[in-house]
Amino acid sequence: MDGRVSLDRVAMRFGDFTAIQPTSLEIQSGEFFSFLGPSGCGKTTLLNIISGFLTPSEGKVSIGGEEMIRVPVNRRPTAMIFQNLALFPLMSVYDNIEFGLEVRGVDRSARRRKADELLELVALGGSGHKPVSELSGGQKQRIAIARALAVEPRVLLLDEPLSALDLKLRQHMRTELKAIQRQTGITFIYITHDQGEALTMSDRVAVMSAGRIEQIADPMTLYRDPATAFVAGFVGENNRLAGHVTAADGELVTLDAGLAVAVSGRARQPLAVGDSASLYVRPEQWRVGTPDDLRLPFSGIVQAEHFEGAWLTLEVALDSGPTLRVQVPHVVTGDGVDAQLRVGGSCRLDYSPREAVVLPGAEPSPEAGEVADVAATA
Amino acid sequence: MWQQLHNRFGLPLTMAIVGLLGVWLILMVLLPQWQMIDYSFHPSLLPSERGGEKDVWTLANYVTFFHNDIHLAIFFKTIWSSVLVTALTLVVSYPLAYYLAKVATPGQAALCLLLLIVPFWINEILRTFAWYIIFAFRGPLNELLFALGLIDRPIRFLNGDTGVLVGMVYAYILFMVFPLYNAIESLDGNQIRAARDLGAGWLRTHRRIVIPHAKPGIATGCIMTFMLAAGSYAVPALLGSPGSRWFTQIIYNWFFEGGDWNQGAAYAFLLLALCILFVTLVMRIFKVGLGDIAK
């Protein structure tokens, strides 16, 4: 079963508005691929183009090597799981799951066998005769998966299907979706604005912004090596220190960010002395020490503390101005660094330049709202 | 109910509400109906004979009906034609309602609804006359068909049932479109998309998803259209011919030409009873309850 999906310069315009910039993309057969981006970035439009609900203004879509543009939605080898699931409320669980098979003219007993198989797969065996209205949120979720899998799609499209569930159930369903994907070997294309979902389940993630793909990479690369300022800000939390390049030594680049000491990090692309650039250091990459630990070059004052269970997040105002978000592990015995940190108290900080990333441009990415914007006036 | 109203509105307002409701029910609904029932079970008498020995309870008025083959035939023809009108109206209204509810942009839908409603600002008789003109032997419709080369001689539309059917579909289309529109509008668009996505063609999507969802609306529209059609007078009187007479015309004749109100009342009740029976039957068949219709 060939579930490759390829987009060839696909673009979508609605009147004057460009929803998707020309985009080319290859998704492997059997891959769990996610589109991650804020609402309005065009990810749902892209999903609708793959499923056939929308015809792109330009470009080609093929699935398993077959050209799809002229194939209507009901004849594409895809199945969609909708955000609101869209189970048929007037039908029983069996009728929902068997709908696609009934359409394909599969006879009654074969349909029922398949439905029972799928109910076992989603761990809801024996509930086939229930009306859909009697199911809980999580059960409805599973029935929606079973209904989509019943038509044996080559590609399963999932449009933020977990967003309606509560936190615990959502985390549980992530594991389950991933397991189902492995078991069936079907290509999953998953749309979400929740980076937790994208990072935990996907083989690869495409981060989208304003109708464009910013970066396609596996989750770890995405987190460690963001290719653009948008990705650096959108995926996970980041501290941005803006300045200009003072030294470029191979991969390591040093910036003057207006702090007491120069900062440096890995550059993904060559930068020349004098270029404006930003250094990104994630909150958990900071090492925090007591005020007398002079091995740590940066010093600051704790402005606020947020207790988050495993982590304690601090807002630390550096002496030279910008405020950083810093995470330290929470130590239950009370003899860790966290016990000595008090709001209003001072502390010292350091990070490892090998972990930090330098990207060109001193301006914050306009859409990446989650960047703790600490740009110093350089 | 009294207690609820009393708690909410206090005694004087509650008495006023219940009182008005009672007056409305008794004066406007029960009394006139009772009067007609009373008429239907008495012989038609001269004023001087009323209250005399001839003024007895009798089934004679009902018996007359069952002995008159022509009236019986017209009666069943009326029911049958009303069914036909209802079916035709449904067939015409369903695509329109679907378009309005699920396809049209809000602007298009508003324009379409306006176009549908505007003709209804004109009196029903005048609208029916408009069709009389359109359907005339040398009228615009014949001219158009002739000019298009579809016919080589004019058709007498007003001769049989054609005019009556078209006139009624036109007259009652809103009573079908609105319940259908309301019902289809409440369907989640993703349901339709999901059915398509699972491979269903348009016909199956409508048959399995849209129509089952719209069933209460369809039932409401059909019942209203059927009742209005069966009780229609103006359309068959204007657009029909003696061959396509409606039962209401017979009732009218008993009242105003025969002057026999008692006989007319009996006929009117027969029509009412049959309509109620028919509607109940339809609701049974389509498994629709009164509650669904009230929605």
pLDDT tens track for B205-222:
999 999 999 988 998 899
Q: What's the pLDDT score for residue A331?
A: 72
Compute CA distances B68 → A29, A136, B221, whole Å: 78, 63, 33
Q: Which of A86, A100, A103 sits opposite B193 (nearest CB)?
A: A86
Q: Which of B188, B198, B199 sits opposite A84 (nearest CB)?
A: B188
Q: In what order do the strands lie in the sheet with A66-67?
A: A17-27, A5-14, A58-63, A66-67
Cβ count within 10 A of residue B119 = 14
Evaluate the CA torsion angle B132, B135, B137, B142 in order and state its sign.
positive
Q: Minimal Cα distance from A73: which residue of B? A: B197
What A248-257 contacts at long range (C-beta under 8 Å, 24+ apart), as own/partner pairs, is: A248/A272, A248/A273, A252/A353, A253/A277, A253/A358, A255/A279, A255/A358, A256/A378, A257/A376, A257/A378
Backbone angles phi, psi at A212, to 5 degrees: -130, 150
Rounded to a whole number of angstroms, the distance from the CA of B286 to the nearest CA of chain A is 14
Q: Minimal Cα distance from B192: which residue of A? A: A86
pLDDT tens digits along B43-99: 887 777 777 777 788 888 888 888 888 889 999 889 899 999 999 999 999 999 999
Q: What's the pLDDT score for residue A274?
A: 85
Nearest Cα residue to A101 out of A119, A83, A115: A115
Contacts of A205 (CB under 8 A, 6+ apart): A33, A34, A35, A36, A198, A199, A216, A217, A218, A219, A222
Contacts of B234 (CB under 8 A, 6+ apart): B124, B125, B128
Residues B197 and A79: beta-carbon distance below 8 Å: yes
Q: What's the pLDDT score for residue A378?
A: 30
Q: What's the pLDDT score for residue B246?
A: 87
| E strand or H helix at B214 | helix B211-230
Q: What's the pLDDT score for residue A62?
A: 94
Q: What's the pLDDT score for residue A125?
A: 84
Q: Minimal Cα distance from B212: which residue of A? A: A90
pLDDT tens digits along B256-283: 888 888 889 999 999 999 888 888 888 8
Q: Minimal Cα distance from B199: which residue of A? A: A74
Q: How far apart are CA A283 and CA A356, in angstroms?
A: 11
Exposed e or buried b per residue across A202-233, where buried means at least 16 C-beta atoms within 10 angstroms of its C-beta: bbbbbbbbbbbbbbbbebeebbeebbbbbbbb
Q: Which of A51, A88, A151 sits opposite B191 (nearest CB)?
A: A88
From first to last of its 378 residues, what are the pLDDT tens digits of chain A? 788 999 999 999 998 899 999 999 999 999 999 999 998 888 999 999 999 999 999 999 999 989 998 999 999 999 999 999 999 999 999 999 999 999 999 999 999 999 999 998 888 888 889 999 999 888 998 999 999 999 999 999 999 988 878 888 888 889 989 999 998 899 999 999 988 889 999 999 999 998 999 999 999 999 999 999 999 989 988 999 988 888 887 788 888 888 878 888 998 888 888 888 999 999 999 988 888 888 888 888 898 988 888 888 889 998 877 889 999 887 766 666 666 777 888 888 899 988 899 998 877 765 554 444 443 333
Could you write out the DSSP letters of every residue in B105-126?
-HHHHHHHHHHHHGGGGS-HHH
| E strand or H helix at B288 | none
Q: Minimal Cα distance from B207: which residue of A? A: A103
Contacts of B58 (CB under 8 A, 6+ apart): B41, B42, B43
Burial of B131 (0-12, 13-18, 19+ CB in 10 A): buried
Q: How far apart are CA B5 and CA B17, in angstroms?
A: 9
Instruction: Please state, rounded to an integer, the average pLDDT across all residues of chain B.
Output: 88
Q: How far apart are CA A244 and CA B170, in angstroms?
A: 76
Q: At what angle do helices A108-121 and A93-103 cross, to 10 degrees?
A: 130
The 3-state secondary structure of A231-246, one letter per residue:
HHHHCCCEEEEEEEEE
DSSP-assigned letter for residue B158: G
Q: Which of A75, A78, A82 sits opposite B194 (nearest CB)?
A: A82
CB contact under 8 A, A88 and B195: yes
Rounded to a whole number of angstroms, the distance from the CA of B212 to the nearest CA of chain A is 8
- Which residues from A are below 8 Å from B213, CB to CB? 90
Burial of B185 (0-12, 13-18, 19+ CB in 10 A): middle
Compute CA distances B65 → B62, B184, B256, B261, whole Å: 5, 43, 18, 14
Rounded to a whole number of angstroms, the distance from the CA of A69 to the nearest CA of chain B is 15
**pLDDT band at B293; cut points 50, 70, 90:** low
- Which residues from A are below 8 Å from B191, CB to CB? 86, 88
Q: Which residues lie across from A373 on neighbouring strands?
A: A240
Rounded to a whole number of angstroms, the distance from the CA of B189 to the nearest CA of chain A is 9
CB contact under 8 A, B194 and A100: no
In this structure, which amino acid lies at residue B270?
A: L
Supply B147's token pair. 């000019």
Q: Which of B200, B208, B213 sits opposite A74 (nearest CB)?
A: B200
Supply B49's token pair. 């004979």
CB contact under 8 A, B188 and A86: yes
Q: Minimal Cα distance from A149: which residue of B? A: B198
Which residues from A are below 8 Å from B when comparing CB atoms?
51, 53, 73-75, 78-80, 82-84, 86-88, 90, 99-100, 103-104, 147-148, 151
Rounded to a whole number of angstroms, the distance from the CA of A75 to the nearest CA of chain B is 6
CB contact under 8 A, A74 and B213: no
Q: Which of B198, B201, B204 sits opposite A79 (nearest CB)?
A: B198
Nearest Cα residue to A80 out of B143, B197, B180: B197
Q: What's the pLDDT score for residue B180?
A: 94
In this structure, which amino acid lies at residue A349?
A: L
Q: Which of A79, A80, A103 sits opposite B200 (nearest CB)?
A: A103
- Which residues from B are below 8 Å from A78, CB to CB? 197
Q: What's the pLDDT score for residue B53?
A: 76
Q: What's the pLDDT score for residue A332?
A: 65
Contacts of B279 (CB under 8 A, 6+ apart): B223, B226, B227
Rounded to a whole number of angstroms, the distance from the CA of A76 to the nearest CA of chain B is 8
- Which residues from A are below 8 Å from B195, CB to CB? 88, 99
Supply B261's token pair. 């109100």
Supply B111's token pair. 């324009």
CB contact under 8 A, B193 and A82: yes
- Which residues from B are below 8 Å from A90, CB to CB? 212-213
pLDDT tens digits along B1-46: 778 888 888 888 889 989 999 999 999 989 998 988 888 888 887 7
Which residues from B are below 8 Å from A when comparing CB atoms?
188, 190-191, 193-201, 204, 208-209, 212-213
CB contact under 8 A, A73 and B190: no
CB contact under 8 A, B212 and A90: yes
Rounded to a whole number of angstroms, the distance from the CA of A143 to the nearest CA of chain B is 13
Helical segments of A156-260, H only: 167-184, 195-201, 219-224, 229-234
Q: Which of A74, A75, A86 sits opposite B191 (nearest CB)?
A: A86
**pLDDT band at B295; cut points 50, 70, 90:** low
Q: Minimal Cα distance from B198: which residue of A? A: A100
Q: Which residues lie across from A302 on neighbouring strands?
A: A316
Q: What's the pLDDT score for residue B151?
A: 84
- Residue A346's SS3 state is strand
pTM for the full model? 0.81
Q: At what angle do helices A108-121 and A137-150 cross, to 10 degrees?
A: 130
ipTM over 0.85: no
Q: Which of B193, B199, B212 sits opposite A104 (nearest CB)?
A: B199
Q: How far apart are CA B277 and CA A259, in angstroms?
A: 90
Length of chain A as a residue count: 378
- Residue A360's SS3 state is strand
Residues B171 and B124: beta-carbon distance below 8 Å: yes
Supply B28's token pair. 């406007």
A–B interface: beta-carbon pairs under 8 A: 55
Residues A36 and A198: beta-carbon distance below 8 Å: yes
